A = this chain, B = another copy of it.
């Protein structure tokens, strides 16, 4: 016979914590606590299998169920010495849902079940408190009518308000027993009127009604949507927990509360929580009365007057503290607890792993290792890598008031306040004068980089999570809110409007790059502080991980940040970012408008010493660590001006007519620049560009080698290759430059030439390409764009609809799409390695800093991930977790 019902209570249970899948989280932990001998009101759990059977059999319960419930109920009756439906000594129960994973959107709780017109009198007599009894009954009628019978709870609240109005009072507490008695009558009539049925008076009918309501709520639209969004199979089902009631509202000797075994905000090893005397759980949550502190110390630190539990109920508090210790030692995790004190007796109603802030997670993990509760591997798994971001960036003071005027994508974490400026030059100027500025642009381009660097934060009206603004801001560690669609910028008027508010240049706004919120005025922020715990955890992660972690960086400052965060090299140095300096851009433009190769070579000659200087500096900072340099990638039109005034200026500087320049601009215009004349296509059309860059790299390497005696091994990366022939064509030229520089400088050098794998064709042809390329770096930004056929700059308009309608689980530009893009990465890795066993494999798309994607990289066997400097710690931890997860498999 299948066992559908598991009892718990009085120090022994039929289930335990390991039966979470069968009993749900709440039921399993109630059973476990009961087994531990903790005071748990007796009860029983209907398993998740009942739910599955119920749906598989057309909403009918298994035959044996009724008998099993009856017998479990009898056991409660025996333990509590009360009887269900007994006029004199009635047993009351709570009915709660409890799925395997926490699931909002389902029926939560019915309390006080078992009350009816007769038992309420018994309860009044027994508790010697008629007011309490009738209050409990009306609460039950409202809850039950609402969640089981479908009567809108507002109707009950209206009746209550009318009653108070009539009596001329404002608080519920001002109503007496008779008032509640009268209200109970009104409530019962309301339910009858609304449903056409009498409110069930038979407790057994009540019980089955509540049970069916829980199972029914498993298939509501909200619950189904939630499951789809969180990838929870419908087959899991929910359990139902039926537990004898205990009352925190039976007078001054009673109380109810919630608690954490450690401070969930700071991680401090001190009890944390709140309680209310003479109250039921819902009162704590409702916020009508101010909850009191648990400990004397907490009360004193907060300067609060209301007495703490430690002071008010010393005996119950001591018991509770012992329970805390017991639970932490048992679960080896910080616990989140609900409890009730009924007439001086402590009862445990729930325990579960406590949610916590990143800061707290870090401290608790390291502390628990110190305390010998867990080992280092477990500690590594306890910290959410993504959360480390909070520790590295300023955050908004949660208590600070704010006026949110718009919302965009949380594109780069951190909060920042500053004066609104609308162009990069002004951002730089005002920053030099000591002002904090927020750069506001419709979208950013490489020309804006100096302004982005000078700004505290960046706000764009367009673009997605991997738009230029987002990528660069993350790289620099600047806060960024991108794609705030409601923000309309007028550069002419130097203002932007949103939701009816107009913000002019110079006015202060605050942006929160972690939430995407944009606020008017200045909102207080909290500066991050890195504790020793951070270093400790990172050291453990480094011991554990297999993959290397590099950074995407080219600006010396960013490279230094990356080194400080533990980057083991540079995985992507975007050379085009070096071309926007005021001095250089002129030479770049001169090259672009040149009539022929000679003209281009002349202009490139001016750039050579500048590029060389860049690389010298980078090689110095990276002290012999590998540096992967990507040759020029963006289409040339990105370097040309677009507004008339600027065009005139540039034409003059480049010594061509405005008409010539305009024609060249028109010639270079592209319908789809992402798929245009860029990447190695530039190198093949104008080999002299890549030759100049190769020369700058080799000369820099030779210089630094001579100067420091260190061995510099540049990795030269060819972007956007689709064929082996492209690599061969360019490799021949780069090798030629290498030989020339070695002869000129008389320095022997090692270097390698590899390619980005960022086009589907490159992944498909990886075997052929690996014959020529010595390393692959998966450029998963572009690979996602081409594999999906989605431009990251335009995706914001419809990707949210895709997520809302459940077509995509997550933004493929944030977390790698394993089924599609992932297949190509895997294919690229396997085919490449089959041809060249020691092929070095890395990833340098934004996914290199995303924990779920890093897990995938471990699975595929990449050698390293490369990400924004500020994501390096996240990547280090995620890489360690990826190893641990596989070890545990």
Contacts and interface: CB of A to CB of B under 8 A. Distances in A.
Contacts of A820: 722, 760-761, 764-765
A805 B673 CA distance: 23
Nearest to A687: B805
A452 to B, nearest CB: 19
Interface in A782-814: 782, 785-791, 793-794, 797-798, 801-802, 805-808
Contacts of A808: 723, 725
A764 B794 contact: no
B723 A761 contact: no
Contacts of A793: 670-672
A173 interface: no
Nearest to A793: B671
A672 B794 contact: yes
A676 interface: yes
Contact of A761 (B720, B726, B821): B821
Interface string A865-883: 0000000000000000000
Interface string A665-678: 00000111111110
A759 B787 contact: yes
Given A760-B820, A820-B761, A794 B722 contact: no
A684 B807 CA distance: 9
A640 to B, nearest CB: 15
Contact of A672 (B684, B787, B791, B817): B791
Interface string A817-848: 10111011000000000000000000000000
B802 A684 contact: yes
B684 A798 contact: yes
A789 B782 CA distance: 9
Contacts of A798: 677, 681, 684-685
A791 B676 contact: yes
A722 B820 CA distance: 9
A675 B789 contact: yes
A807 B677 contact: no
Contacts of A725: 806-808
A787 B805 contact: no
Interface string A700-736: 0000000000000000000010110110010000000
Contact of A674 (B675, B787, B797, B801): B675
B765 A685 contact: no
Nearest to A663: B488
Q: Is the interface of A mostly helix, strand, loop or mixed?
A: helix
Contacts of A760: 760, 786-787, 789, 820, 824
Contact of A817 (B761, B768, B788, B824): B761
A788 B720 CA distance: 9
A420 B46 CA distance: 83
A685 B681 CA distance: 35
A794 B670 contact: yes
Given A760-B824, A820-B760, A790 B685 contact: no
Contacts of A791: 670-672, 674-676
A787 B786 contact: yes
Given A787-B761, A789-B782, A677 B824 contact: no
B684 A764 contact: no
Given A671-B674, A675-B791, A765 B807 contact: no
A805 B671 contact: no
B676 A723 contact: no
A517 B859 CA distance: 56
Contacts of A823: 764
A675 B761 contact: no
Contacts of A801: 684-685
A862 to B, nearest CB: 19
Interface string A483-519: 0000000000000000000000000000000000000
Contacts of A723: 807-808
A405 to B, nearest CB: 19
Given A786-B786, A789-B720, A794 B676 contact: yes
A806 B676 CA distance: 19
Contacts of A759: 787-789
A820 B761 CA distance: 5
A296 B356 CA distance: 105
Nearest to A485: B667
A826 B675 CA distance: 24
Contact of A789 (B670, B722, B805, B819): B722
Contacts of A679: 789
Contacts of A802: 681, 684
A834 B764 CA distance: 21
Contacts of A764: 787, 819-820, 823-824
Contact of A671 (B673, B788, B817): B673
A499 to B, nearest CB: 16
Nearest to A817: B761
A171 to B, nearest CB: 45
Contacts of A676: 791, 794
A681 B681 CA distance: 30
A673 B673 CA distance: 10
A760 B723 CA distance: 17
Contacts of A819: 761, 764-765, 768
A607 to B, nearest CB: 22
A387 to B, nearest CB: 30
A605 B289 CA distance: 57
A761 B782 contact: no
Contacts of A790: 675, 722
A483 to B, nearest CB: 12
B726 A807 contact: yes
Given A675-B674, A676-B791, A787-B759, A805 B729 contact: yes
A352 to B, nearest CB: 33
Contacts of A797: 677
A221 B768 CA distance: 26
Contacts of A824: 760, 764
Most chain B beta carbons < 10 A, residue from A673, A675, A723: A675
A821 B759 CA distance: 11
Nearest to A682: B798
A764 B819 CA distance: 8
A704 B409 CA distance: 50
A858 to B, nearest CB: 21
A789 B786 contact: yes
Given A685-B801, A760-B786, A765-B820, 18 more contacts: A675-B675, A675-B785, A675-B786, A675-B794, A677-B797, A684-B798, A684-B805, A722-B788, A722-B820, A723-B807, A726-B807, A729-B807, A759-B788, A759-B789, A760-B789, A761-B788, A761-B817, A764-B820
Top-7 shortest CB links A-B: A675-B791, A761-B820, A672-B791, A760-B760, A671-B793, A759-B789, A725-B807
18 contacts: A672-B673, A672-B794, A674-B789, A674-B791, A675-B675, A675-B789, A675-B794, A676-B794, A677-B798, A681-B798, A684-B801, A684-B807, A723-B807, A759-B789, A760-B789, A765-B819, A765-B820, A786-B789
